[in-house]
Amino acid sequence: MVKSKVEAIKESKAWEGIEGMLNTIWKKKGKCEGNQTRKGSELEEDEDEVGRPWTLPRRIICLGLGSPKDSRVAQFQLALLLIFRDHVDEILRSGSTSPNLSEEIVVDRLEKVSGGQESPKCSVEAFDPIFDREDRDLLSYFGVQAPLENKVGDYPVQEGEPTLFYMPHCGLGLYERVLRSNWSTERLAHLLLCCNELENYRLGMRDSELKESYPCVHRFVNRIESKRLPNLAKPNSDCFNDTAFQRFVGFDKRGGEQGGNDPEEEFFRSLSSGNRSETMTSEGGGEGFVH
């Protein structure tokens, strides 16, 4: 089921673009290339920030996947998640920043992980309130942890553990919650998103509405570098439409050095202590998790 989706992605016309993007963003030297790069609307040109290599994650957190046993879209999204993990694993194991992961290699590695013969160096954790026992067993088979606790997006990035948040097609409230739980210069520097292209929310909403209801998304979207993920063709074009890798690059260098205050933490403290972005529920069906 999921393995066939891995094979379908590898055989698709989109695969060359996906593989090229992975080889571009996760490399140790050189500038990020490609004509699909986009910077936030208010970000001033900063070659040091935009050109710096993308952080290689040691951990992937997947939120809002949907049921991999029942949903075709969830199966494709899980398949790509496993491809991402294997790509990162290969870099961590071999030191090569351009691993050539053929379909046979990926499927063989999945077999080894599911058979307990190999442990991934990049840990993966997935949560969705709709997961049942069969979903969690399926995820465990592929080496993906599936805890029961609903943290409603409260996943602070740990020191020394750069983290990719894999969240295609989640709700805007959940993106806000993830960003809010990581709002400091240090944590944002080690946070990557693979999710809906946040710039489109800025274009589709009144600026005042976005700033009032989702202040972290509002600040983040104006200071990001984004690389859109190539999408699959029909009938699977609903799997990764409007999905992009995104990272924060608009660090304010006025603070955080020589004993100065961290401007991002100052922004965080300035946020209202009200109940913004608390719309996700532990029972599912809230704004945060969209399938």
Average pLDDT over all residues of the chain: 80
Q: For 157-198, write each residue's pLDDT tens digit.
A: 998 899 999 999 999 999 999 999 999 888 999 999 999 999
User: Does 57 reside within a domain?
Assistant: yes
Query: Would residue 291 count as lying in a domain?
Result: no
* 42 Cα distance to chain centroid: 22
Please give the pLDDT value at position 289. Answer: 59
Confidence of residue 210 (pLDDT cuts 50, 70, 90): very high
In a domain, 143, yes or no: yes
pLDDT for 275 equals: 44
Phi, psi of 213 (to 5 degrees): -90, -30
Is residue 169 a part of any domain in this protein? Answer: yes
What is the per-residue pLDDT for 280? 39
In a domain, residue 289? The reply is no
Contact between 112 and 50 under an 8 Å Cβ cutoff? The reply is no
**Helices (DSSP H) in 100-250: which residue ranges?**
103-114, 133-141, 172-180, 185-188, 199-204, 207-213, 215-221
Among residues 137, 20, 129, 18, the alpha carbon closest in space to that of 76 is found at: 18
Q: Residue 208 pLDDT > 90, yes or no?
A: yes
Q: Which pLDDT score is estimated for 104?
A: 56
More reliable by pLDDT, 84 or 99: 84
Say what the pLDDT of residue 33 is. 37
- Please tell me the number of Cα atoms within 13 Å of 83 on its side-chain side: 26
Residue (of 125, 97, 120, 122) closest to 110 by Cα position:
120
Lowest model confidence (mean pLDDT) among 82-91, 95-104, 189-198, 276-285: 276-285
Cβ atoms of 159 and 137 within 8 Å: the answer is no
For residue 173, give the DSSP letter.
Answer: H
Model confidence band, residue 72 (pLDDT cutoffs 50, 70, 90): very high
Q: What percent of the chain has pLDDT above 70? A: 71
Give the phi and the psi of residue 51 in degrees, each rounded to 5.
Answer: -85, -15
For the stretch 48-63, pLDDT in tens is 455 577 889 999 999 9
pLDDT at 285: 34
Residues of the chain above pLDDT 90, percent = 56
Q: Is residue 64 part of a domain?
A: yes
C-alpha–C-alpha distance, residues 99 and 114, integer Å: 22
Residue 152's pLDDT is 93
Number of domains in the chain: 1
Residue 240 falls inside a structural domain: yes
Q: For residue 2, how many other CB atoms are within 10 A of its CB?
A: 21
pTM reported for the whole predicted model: 0.81
Mean local confidence (pLDDT), 1-30: 86
Domain membership of residue 75 as a residue range: 2-270
Reported confidence tier of residue 217, pLDDT bands at 50, 70, 90 = very high
Q: Is residue 144 part of a domain?
A: yes
